[in-house]
Amino acid sequence: MFNQLDMAPRDPILGLTETFQQDTRPEKVNLSVGVYKDANGKTPVLQSVKRAEERLLKAEATKSYLPMDGSAEYGAAVRELLLGNGHPIVTDGRANTAQTPGGTGGLRVAADFFHRKYPSARLWMSDPTWANHPNVFHAAGIETTNYPYFDAAANQLDYESMRNAFHNIPEGDIVLLHGCCHNPTGADLSIEQWREIGGIVKSRALLPLIDFAYQGFGDGLEQDASGVRAFCEQADNVLVASSFSKNFGLYNERVGALTVIGESSEATAKAHSHIKASIRANYSNPPAHGGGIVATILSDAALRKEWEEELRGMCARIRDMRSLFVDTLKAKGVKRDFSFLIGQRGMFSFSGLTREQVEILREKYAIYIVNSGRINVAGMTESNMDRICSAVAEVLQG
């Protein structure tokens, strides 16, 4: 039965990491998957997380199932982080949250919900987008297409084209947006642009889903949520998939959420009931540990302060690496102006390197970046920077 199958294509991001792990060259550098590395090239467990885990272990009294939509305390903490303390959407009962296994779990639950309840809706993604987005929606049976987002020649957001496209998306279709730190381009909408897109989404009766995986990795927790909040205040119906892999460093605990916002508390309750049904059919109910860590940290003033400091530290290191990358390339005589990388937000830089240049970097220099030219800046350190920049300089000359 299995012998007749073809091998599945390698995943463009995690498949590269598999190849990286098999690479025996000691100087190899992985700048593909979006995982934060500290100055020593390690992905640390945050101190605030360790402390929360100690508390959780002591207090744990059962391993019984969580509800289908997870812990209520976690859901409340997620909504507060997303919308801010005492936001009217929350106090009016217009938001409800399901705890999901990672942000990807949240996206898949949303996808199943869309497919069940809005079977003829197509989903529109930014061009480009996270390489796994199409997989998640196709697996749920949803047809996808793209709206313009990025001007690759100018290395910046192409807002005019995006806005014009939104005016022409058929009523009832689904639009996928990145909450902040757009993956892969690092180019975000301004608050005014978020507001305007929210108004178009409402007037054209579109169904928006926001992928919010990098809150705190751009300009700060509050600033990074401000566009999403402005959007939610315009559009009546919104779904938000949150991930805490990066900002809490909880990658392998798979901690995420799907928050639904409806035009009234009744509408929200109806949508949430279908989200629970999708969860039941998918993985029944979520794992508890990672959500427990996040809820413990967010509900304790001292732990929260410590976490926010640790998050600011990660963010500052990434910003330093952006500047160091640009400066080192210049120092190595690279003529092309890479200063646009400094204005990009989040873990990634969309470098403009071609597929061929990416392959040479991998094969000749053991430097792994995604085929689209996306570089994980959070994987750069002062120790590997010189080697990375020498290789990029040579590849650009060749």
* Binding site residues, ligand LMR, CB under 6 A: 13, 33-34, 130, 132, 183
Is residue 37 annotated as a catalytic residue, yes or no? no
Give 33 or 324: the residue with its C-beta nearer to ligand LMR: 33
Tell me, yes or no, if 307 is annotated catalytic: no
Is residue 398 within 8 Å of 40, Cβ to Cβ?
A: no
β-pairing verdict for 174-178 and 123-127: parallel
Of the candidates 224, 216, 219, the residue with the CA atom closest to the CA atom of residue 247: 216
CA 60, 65, 67: angle at the middle one, nearest 5?
Answer: 110
Burial class (CB within 10 angstroms; exposed 0-12, middle 13-18, buried 19+) of 294? buried
Q: How far is the CB of 213 from ligand LMR (least distance, A)?
A: 6
Q: How far is CA 273 from the centre of its chain?
A: 25
**Given the residues 69, 246, 276, 307, the one annotated as active site:** 246
What separation in angstroms does the CA of 282 have from each of 100, 153, 210, 330? 11, 42, 21, 50
**In angstroms, rounded to a whole number, what is the distance separating the alpha carbons of residues 97 and 241?**
10
User: Are 145 and 307 in contact, with CB atoms under 8 Å apart?
Assistant: no
Compare residues 183 and 328 and give the one whose CB is closer to ligand LMR: 183
Q: Which of 124, 130, 194, 307 is catalytic?
A: 130
Q: Find the residue with minimal CB distance to ligand LMR.
A: 34
Q: How many angstroms separate the CA atoms of 256 and 287, rounded?
A: 10
The reply to whether 130 belongs to the active site is yes
Q: In this complex, which beta carbon is closest to ligand LMR, that of residue 130 or of residue 137?
A: 130
Active-site residue set:
130, 211, 246
